[in-house]
């Protein structure tokens, strides 16, 4: 019975490791940094997008900041909001440009009428 418990503990340990590793995704380093939208958004100025290496991030527009978490999956940046929405962001130009699909759905490319394009202005994310 002791051996069985050890086997069970080993499997539970593997699952826990899977949970931890599954939440990490690919390396965030290439995309960590501060980005600015290419165009003003909703007549309120430019959006500042900050992606920190620890997986946290902020979206700031007209002094209002929204916090989120992010990860890299299949070479795309996935932004998870607290409400459960997912914004799929497609990097281009070696991570210097990001195209955010604002539909909250997955599309092969970024839909033209729902796409916010960002340009990297600073390498590495700024912590709080």
Partner 1 sequence: MAATDKPPGTEAKTELKIDHIGQEVNLPAGTRIVSQGEAPEFFYVIQSGKVRVFRETADRIRTDLTELGPGSYFGEVALVTGQPRSASVEATEDSRLVKVSKVEFDTLLDQNPQLARHIIQQLASWLVAGDTRLETEVVHQVKLRQISWFDYVLMCGLSVVLALIFNIYNDNKIPLIHDWGQPAVAEIPIGQALALYRQNKAVFVDARKSPFFDQDHIKGAMNLPVILFDLMYPMFQFTLDQTPGDKDKTLVVYGGTISRRMDEDLARMLIRRGLKHVVVMKQYRDWASVFPITKHPPKPAATMPLGVPGMLEWIPMSIFLLFLIPPIRRSPYLSVFCRLLLGAIFISFALSKILRPAVFALNVVDYGIMPSFGVNLWALALPWAELLVGLFLILGIRTRAAATLIAAMNIIFIVGLVNAILHHMPINCGCVGEVGEPVNWLKVTKNVGMVLMCLQIYLYDRLLVLDRGGFILRDRKI
Residues in contact with partner 1 by CB under 8 A are 1, 3-4, 7-8, 11-12, 15, 18-19, 22-23, 41-44, 59, 61-62, 64, 66, 69, 74, 80-88, 102-108, 114
Instruction: Name the CA radius of gyration of the chain, rounded.
Output: 18
State which residue, 66 or 97, has the beta carbon closest to partner 1: 66
Reduced to 3 states (helix: H, G, I; strand: E, B; else coil), residue 15 is helix
Chain centroid to Cα 25, Å, comes to: 10
Minimal distance, residue 124 CB to partner 1, in Å? 22
State which residue, 3 or 93, has the beta carbon closest to partner 1: 3
State which residue, 85 or 123, has the beta carbon closest to partner 1: 85
**From residue 103, how far is each of 10, 35, 89, 115, 117 by CA, in Å?**
42, 20, 11, 8, 14
């Amino acid at each position: 019975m002791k051996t069985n418990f050890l086997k069970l503990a080993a499997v539970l340990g593997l699952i826990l490791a899977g949970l931890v590793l599954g939440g990490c995704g690919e390396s965030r380093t290439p995309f960590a940094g501060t980005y600015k939208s290419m165009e003003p958004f909703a007549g309120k100025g430019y959006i500042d997008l900050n992606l920190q290496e620890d997986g946290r991030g902020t979206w700031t527009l007209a002094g209002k900041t929204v916090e989120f978490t992010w990860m890299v999956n299949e070479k795309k940046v996935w932004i998870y909001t607290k409400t459960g929405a997912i914004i799929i962001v497609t990097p281009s130009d070696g991570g210097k440009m990001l195209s955010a699909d604002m539909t909250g759905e997955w599309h092969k490319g970024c839909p033209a009428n729902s796409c916010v394009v960002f340009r990297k202005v600073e390498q590495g994310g700024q912590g709080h």
